[in-house]
Chain A
């Protein structure tokens, strides 16, 4: 062998062994040093978690009667992953499905799109979950429909039928309770990202109402079966299997029968308003237990069918829920509707006047109008009642008396040059009742209302002075009327100050003051209870499937209005007079039980979409029975006209059932013990699909 070829051989051998060494090094790195990373990656490739949703807890009324319960239902869902692989992206399958279920193709199409796939302005009904979840389209398929799909599996690739527990609303007393219960829906991508909740893709979770408020209790723990799969996603082995644990039941303070009554009375009131020529666009009603704050009934109108979600919400239904045309049924007016309290506020003004030193048992002038500054503030209907007792003034709801008192107080506080330490009797009384604060009810999205005191005025001015001081350039053309320009000029100059008009309007519950119907119910409960008021609570208790109490919700005092007992006595007397000989006398004549209350008819500024001026808000706030008060009942009808004839009559209907002599809803008072949950009251729908073969396997 020549020297050269010998050298070449050595080089060659070295090269070969360095190649082997590099393989060895790489092997060491992948299999030993960095193995953990690859092991993890392999597990995510091989294993799949199959989630069996837990049976969600029931929500019952105060007697343990279910208002929502999970029942097995036949769900037809669409697998996007399968559809996307089809040549036409599944359009022919969806078209066949639309025919089978008599749905619009565009509806099914929209509902099977991920929200992110659609343009921002056209997402109604879109799928809020992910591509990998089955998208439920029909929640309550009939057995025949399900069989049609299963027997023609080749016609419906990507369409799955399964019996899964679905939310059902038995409505045993005819109640709807939609806004209180809320609804459930699929886990969204955002939910999945929430680090505090360990949600699974196939889960159904609360979206609104009690369903979201108590989701953690109701949800239960899903069962997880971990399986190993091969490249074709065929299960080869089961590794772990934990059983689903059913959620806890929620017992509420709602009485299904009373709720049903309240809903009917509210609907009747709205229809009555419409019948009287008012727009009557919406309404709300609340029944609270005075001495505990328990919410015995709460309704909002218009309402919706909470089972829509489970039946498969169509795009039209989803649009209607939030549409102005249909009155935004999704909105819970009882806790989200904000309205001026109008004359119902005069009870608060009585507390303010007493504190300011006015003798409640004296007589005051009730003229047709009061001249304040350059404006005349007129009495309701401009009628002068002469010199009358304050009790009578409350009964007939005299405004002008309050104009004078509040104006005098405003002047005493310094008028437009307020003292450094003004008395602000009216603002402070309202504050004591909690106006401007939310009640703290155990429901999401409660509105807090508005207390337009000096502080609020200042904030408001900071935010708006720019607009008013440049009104001519900033305002819309149609708003450039001499009157509005003048108002803008005034707002620009001293919009940060409480003006005489503001003080006067405040005393009769007009102007910028806003409350929710629930807040007003809390205020009237406070009045009936000599000042002490409670946090309104819907939940009574959380119990597990065996009936063991997990959580007992005790009454929580939310505040106390500090006033003399004589003030409360005066108010009790006066509010009874409203019903016996005042504004509500007609509406309540003949009612066999004595109740007390106050009408309110609030002027609303602004216009309806069709250009007509808005009708007055009709209020009736009350408590009963007059002696030994138990319940605060409030009804509000937006654009409902007079307080007495629209809402007053509605409230009367509620009392007729609630306190019907001998047939009271709570003959022994509202039960204080936790009832037993009786799910058997709902007969279970049995879905039997055994024996139907699908691709060789049985339907789960």
Chain B
């Protein structure tokens, strides 16, 4: 370990050294997200005689805190960070344990730790980082000894992922588990580990998912959500209603959209949770096909920049972190937008960079910070 510290180049973290394109794409999404959160809450809060800027203010605050955290993430050489990985991982698991004991339940999932002053923390969001960094460390260890990870390394890395994933399943938060699983498979694939692991994991995921539903491990609430995805009439009151409303709201936006702040579906708040998990419906209605396309392009830019950074670095740990972060962003984006348009079942994950929500915002921006960190150090 100490050898790594020695080879680390002197820290030269400043804005000039960041990947500007990545930075701009993220910044653009943050601006759009801020407008959408405002558009999604303004009218409703006003009509209920509440502060129409309530969510706007908190969202901007979240972004500022997230930006500070991201900047902080870039300050320390990620290879140094590697030394603290066990601490990061341990902290993530601890958070998940605390939430199971003392968490508050929202939408049938015990996923939040409440702090005084109305602030809430969702440890599962931050656990994503713990898992990615932890797995990357285990998988990259052998590489230092000039060789691809062998079965035992993969097994160890899976254990690193399995413990927090198991805890998240207990909440239960199936959406996050799916995203982490995607990141896990992507990282093992990119590490050069034997291909049978990738194939095997995909099969395990499919079979496991099937039996989880059968055996009732997946709660009734989640089965209902899945059913309403297949047949929206099955549960018309709750998730079916939400999914149908979401699709109608997006579809009614048409090519040009109704204009920011002018969406009747959004202002009437026909889609519940429209500032968090269903923020894309606001974009769909008010910004139309044009605006939504722009959002998809911005996400694509982030993914492409992530891949470029991953490829440029010679360091396996850094590359695996990048792959993990991109897999996380990409699958979460697909899961969320896919859900609002009826491509994916309802899972309740926020849309990266756009949705309101502190923990998710912090985690996403720390993820971006990790990408920038690897970028800065791979020159």
Query: Which residues of A lie under 8 Å from residue B198 when comparing CB positions?
Result: 8
18 intermolecular pairs with C-beta atoms under 8 Å apart: A4-B148, A5-B148, A9-B189, A20-B296, A20-B334, A22-B343, A23-B296, A23-B337, A23-B341, A31-B254, A32-B254, A35-B254, A42-B252, A42-B264, A45-B248, A46-B265, A229-B268, A230-B47
Query: Which residues of B lie under 8 Å from residue A20 when comparing CB positions?
Result: 296, 299-300, 303, 330, 334
Compute how far the CA of A11 lies from the CA of B334 in the bound complex, rounded to whole angstroms. Answer: 17
Q: Is the CB of A16 within 8 A of B326?
A: yes
Compute how far the CA of A591 lies from the CA of B335 in the bound complex, rounded to whole angstroms. Answer: 97
Q: Is the CB of A4 within 8 A of B300?
A: no
Q: Is the CB of A27 within 8 A of B292?
A: yes
Per a CB cutoff under 8 Å, which of A28, A39, A236 touches B43? A236
Which residue of chain A has the shortest Cβ distance to B255 in the bound complex? Answer: A32
B250 contacts A by Cβ under 8 Å: yes
The proximity string for A residues 207-235 relative to B, scoring 1 for CB distances below 8 Å and 0 otherwise, is 00000000000000000000011110010
Known: A20-B303, A231-B270, A236-B268. A42 touches B247 (CB 8 A): no
Q: Is the CB of A9 within 8 A of B337?
A: no
B271 to chain A, nearest CB (A): 9
Q: Is the CB of A42 within 8 A of B292?
A: no
Compute how far the CA of A501 lies from the CA of B255 in the bound complex, rounded to whole angstroms. Answer: 85
Q: Is the CB of A37 within 8 A of B343?
A: no
Q: Is the CB of A9 within 8 A of B190?
A: yes
Query: Which residues of A lie under 8 Å from residue B245 when comparing CB positions?
Result: 45
Q: Is the CB of A12 within 8 A of B186?
A: yes
Give the number of chain A interface residues (Cβ < 8 Å): 39
Q: Is the CB of B250 within 8 A of A38?
A: yes
A2 contacts B by Cβ under 8 Å: yes
A45 to chain B, nearest CB (A): 6
Compute how far the CA of A30 lies from the CA of B284 in the bound complex, rounded to whole angstroms. Answer: 10
Interface residues of B in 317-373 (CB under 8 A from A): 319, 323, 326-327, 330-331, 333-334, 337-338, 341-343
Query: Which residues of B lie under 8 Å from residue A24 when comparing CB positions?
Result: 293, 296
Per a CB cutoff under 8 Å, which of B296, B323, B331 touches A27? B296
Those 3 A-B pairs whose CB atoms lie nearest each other, nearest first: A38-B251, A42-B252, A230-B268
Query: Which residues of A lie under 8 Å from residue B254 when comparing CB positions?
Result: 31-32, 35, 39
Which residue of chain A has the shortest Cβ distance to B335 in the bound complex? Answer: A19
B227 to chain A, nearest CB (A): 21
Query: Which residues of B lie under 8 Å from residue A41 when comparing CB positions?
Result: 248, 251-252
A residues near B, CB below 8 A?
1-2, 4-5, 8-9, 11-13, 16-17, 19-20, 22-24, 26-28, 30-32, 34-35, 37-39, 41-43, 45-46, 228-231, 234, 236-237
Query: Which residues of B lie under 8 Å from residue A12 when comparing CB positions?
Result: 186, 189-190, 323, 327
The proximity string for B residues 109-134 relative to A, scoring 1 for CB distances below 8 Å and 0 otherwise, is 00000000000000000000000000
Known: A27-B341, A35-B255, A228-B264. A19 touches B270 (CB 8 A): no
Compute how far the CA of A43 lies from the CA of B248 in the bound complex, rounded to whole angstroms. Answer: 10
Interface residues of B in 229-269 (CB under 8 A from A): 245, 247-255, 264-265, 267-269
Compute how far the CA of A237 lies from the CA of B46 in the bound complex, rounded to whole angstroms. Answer: 14
Which residue of chain A has the shortest Cβ distance to B337 in the bound complex? Answer: A23
Known: A20-B303, A35-B252, A41-B248. A230 touches B44 (CB 8 A): yes
Compute how far the CA of A32 lies from the CA of B341 in the bound complex, rounded to whole angstroms. Answer: 13
Which residue of chain B has the shortest Cβ distance to A28 in the bound complex? Answer: B289
Query: Which residues of B lie under 8 Å from residue A39 when comparing CB positions?
Result: 251-252, 254
Q: Is the CB of B330 within 8 A of A16?
A: yes
Which residue of chain B has the shortest Cβ distance to A44 in the bound complex? Answer: B248
Query: Which residues of B lie under 8 Å from residue A236 when comparing CB positions?
Result: 43, 47, 264, 267-268
